[in-house]
Amino acid sequence: MTDVTSGPETVAIIPARGGSKGVPRKNVLPVAGVPIVARAVGAARRAGVPRVFVSTDDAEIAAAARAAGAEVVDRPADIAGDTATSESAVLHAMGEIERRGIAIGTVAFLQATSPFIPSDALAEGVRMVADGAYDSAFSAYETYGFLWARGADGGATAVNHDASFRPRRQDREPHYMETGAFYVFDAAGFRQAKHRFFGRIGIVEVPENSAIEIDNLFEFEMAGALAHLLGQPEVIPVDAIVTDFDGVHTDDAVHVDTAGNESVRVLRGDGMGVSLLRKAGIPLLILSTETNGVVRARADKLRVPVIHGLDDKATALREWAQQNGVNLSRTAYVGNDVNDLEAMALVGWPIAVADARPEVRAAARVVLSRAGGQGAVREVIDRVLAARD
């Protein structure tokens, strides 16, 4: 065993096995453009946890975890099956972490199946345990719900209330519903108890709208639909931007005269944004399925490269990135329709304009406040430049 040379630390441990049944491969599936396991890693990092570890038996999950900034603990097959407990994975991970020379004082155990873990609440939970106020703590939301149990005869029995008396909400004491998003505990106490709840147990209150657990396809789709209502990043830290043309630079409408000539409407403000982007040294590429000369004319006016007449935007994007040394994980792709989805799946920052198709909005990491042809391009550029300040 490696000698431990530093004092006890707080570590985050995220068990994420590859054999999910309810939603196959769910730990690497994206919610609003971000793999589920990466969302958990990001929550722990934003909470200020210095070391984040993902325990997994799966190479793809491990790669996604490392890309998000986590370290990986290889999880043995005998504790990666359907019947293995999370406690067994956490205990194994703790042993492996300490063999790397890290003394563990407090453990933040996160479940990747909760895609909206509030970082501020997680940080509060860590403080509650690390400061000694509690031995263990968990995330929960306040509820005033009336709970019932079904008896052996099928009849209902009141659980947390008197069925003959219906007090007003303001006259009732709240209960707290465990969300499953995170648990924090003293490392030594957990080793002894071998369970996440022990000693003096604290409740970390979180918003009810964050309490989504993904165990089936409906919950996965619901998480994607809600992601853009639960807060989005203000800035977009990327090194390159790729956009569709129609429906992004334009409002997706086309004017056709009697001779068959087509024209579109664009905003001068978008052009100014492209100029500022160019001065910052951030490349911009336009990809378009259209072969109309108006696309080339606008690209020439903006002084940006364009690849148009495409049937396969994803292949074109890969080839352009390889030829220009562009890291797709640090690239934004802005789209509006279903033919953008494959390209959006390749980048770290898939972005949808405000009036994009529902499928595109669900796949996006960011949904812009402006529609295509209504300042969407300038909004992306402003938020990318803001990340450089």
Pairing of strands 240-243, 201-205: unpaired
Q: Are residues 183 and 294 in the same domain?
A: no
Q: Are residues 123 and 271 in the same domain?
A: no
φ/ψ of 10, rounded to 5, equals -90, 130
152 is a domain residue: no
112 is a domain residue: yes
Low-confidence residues of the chain: pLDDT under 70: 1-6
190 is a domain residue: yes
Q: Are residues 373 and 225 in the same domain?
A: no
161 is a domain residue: no
pLDDT of residue 6: 55
2 is a domain residue: no
Q: Are residues 249 and 288 in the same domain?
A: yes
Q: Are residues 309 and 246 in the same domain?
A: yes
124 is a domain residue: yes
pLDDT of residue 89: 95
φ/ψ of 56, rounded to 5, equals -150, 155
Q: Are residues 76 and 125 in the same domain?
A: yes
132 is a domain residue: yes
Q: Are residues 106 and 205 in the same domain?
A: yes
Q: Are residues 223 and 283 in the same domain?
A: no
**188: CB partners within 8 A, 6+ apart:** none
pTM, rounded to two decimals: 0.81
Out of 210, 229, 248, pick the residue that ends a domain. 229
The CB density around residue 132, as the number of other CB atoms within 10 Å, is: 9
The pLDDT tens digits for 327-361 are: 999 999 999 999 999 999 999 999 999 999 999 99
Q: Are residues 221 and 345 in the same domain?
A: no
d(CA 133, CA 213): 28
Instruction: Produce one character per residue of 328-348: b if its CB has 16 or more CB atoms within 10 Å, e if not.
Output: beebbbbbbbebbbebbebbb
d(CA 8, CA 143): 36
- CATH code where residue 366 lies: 3.40.50.1000
d(CA 290, CA 127): 56
pLDDT of residue 274: 94
54 is a domain residue: yes
pLDDT of residue 291: 75
> What is the number of structural domains in the chain?
2
pLDDT of residue 4: 43
Q: Are residues 337 and 209 in the same domain?
A: no
* Contact between 136 and 199 (Cβ < 8 Å): yes
Q: Are residues 130 and 64 in the same domain?
A: yes
In which domain, by residue range, is 174 found?
9-143+170-229
- CATH code where residue 111 lies: 3.90.550.10
Q: Are residues 183 and 51 in the same domain?
A: yes
